[in-house]
Chain A
């Protein structure tokens, strides 16, 4: 009798504690994920929800044989990811080292560098649309520096660098905070010892700091890589993928396929490929950097 009661209570507790979480997670995340496998083989147009016809591999054939724009946006996204991940992390490390030294304005500076992060990508895009079109032009007129006089959102290559600039401006502060936490955790006597052994700044950086903050590097690379690869909001509000489709990110391509061209089935197929690409890239990156981690 008592055992039965306990068992019942065990089940009751399981349902009360885990039930709500599972309910929302399964409905909102897991169900759509598996539905994706079905919809990616239909001609679902998003409107006639029940008239989606099974088309087998037609969507996949179309993507692989007949969809240059998709592959162009993949190439764009890869280039964007590589450049902005390197730039954002380099700047973040520089800022972190700067703020590790004794500075009187340390706290204020940390707040300032972090600030762009609290604003959503969509609004950041609009802010920079103004900066690139009006702000830069004015600074260019005053100073005569040609960098500011470029048609920033008007050509494919400047559009690319425009997106990189905004992404780096937004992300560096966040990564800086993580790097600061890692640097603060390094035992002081280790640095002392290396100094006494005659290590100079570059060697100290390469042989002492980097190996010891490797876990933070893993995290920061993971976060920046997956954010850069999934860039959407910024793309939508800053360049709208233009001029033409030259700065269209992969996420934006999927969005446009479904919501502008009304090809939800095809969009779902692309989204599935997108998932595979994101997983492959981030898992490989984490695997590589994890192997380089050491403990102090």
Chain B
């Protein structure tokens, strides 16, 4: 393993790596190219490049799943949840680090150990809890659920980061007459930016793609259907109509893929930071 110079050996490795990457990409190519074919063409030859581009596949699906509505629902649920997760978990982690009372250490331990609990072990009782509290079928209800489930990992990440923030800065601000809330929001919070980016990315990927929680908590309320749920319903109805089904898939994938490609440097860094601590 030579990391310094480009040699013939590296060229061979590069060819091998590129071939592997093409294999990795081929599912995306197949879905994308077939999403603009007619059904007949898909059934005849799924590997060919489309002869005529049937963009009308997309317009049909656009209306059938009410794409603007589903997209807006996913977007608002994700953004609201992520904002409050960042705010509440950074505040909690700050309190736990700076006031390490016995109670606060216990809370931290509780949060960390809850990370092992699989969602399926909670989901049925959660249905009960959310209907008692009248959270079901409401925007604030699903956001509340994401807050609950997002808290453990996010507090954990902030906790690790805040420990490395120098305390002297806060003392100086306090001597200058700032109250604890001012210290946190004006001094500490801006310093947390790198880990805030990580927390935003990890939670966005998870919440945007989530399927089971919206199904259970939003249930029958059609006005709140998220993109993955809408596509799943649509896919169930059009199993053999691949032309429309694939166009629907591409429309569901595209937003999060663009999010990834535009922020990929931060996402990869965020994943690394998140996993090394987690």
Contacts and interface: CB of A to CB of B under 8 A. Distances in A.
Interface of A: 9-10, 13-14, 16-18, 20-22, 24-25, 27-33, 35-36, 39, 46, 49, 95, 97-105, 108-123, 126-128, 130-131, 134-135, 137-139, 142, 169, 173-174, 177-178, 181, 188, 191, 201, 215-216, 219-220, 223, 226, 230, 232-233, 236-237, 251, 254-255, 258, 264, 267-268, 271-272, 274-275, 278-279, 282-283
B114 interface: yes
A27 B144 contact: yes
18 contacts: A10-B99, A29-B152, A30-B114, A35-B128, A98-B17, A114-B264, A114-B271, A118-B205, A118-B256, A118-B260, A119-B253, A135-B26, A137-B46, A169-B24, A177-B272, A181-B276, A220-B275, A233-B212
Contact of B149 (A29, A130, A174, A223): A29
A115 B29 CA distance: 13
Nearest to A229: B118
A122 B28 CA distance: 15
B190 to A, nearest CB: 17
Mostly, the A contact residues are helix
Contact of B209 (A123, A219, A232): A123
B278 to A, nearest CB: 7
B16 interface: yes
Interface of B: 1-6, 10, 13-14, 16-18, 20-21, 24-28, 30-31, 34, 42-43, 45-47, 84, 87-89, 91-92, 94-96, 99, 104, 107, 110-111, 114, 116-129, 131, 133, 144-145, 147-149, 151-152, 155, 180-181, 184, 205, 208-212, 228, 231-232, 235, 242, 245-246, 249, 252-253, 256-257, 259-261, 264, 267-268, 271-272, 275-276, 278
Contacts of A18: 91-92, 95-96, 104, 107
A113 B24 contact: yes
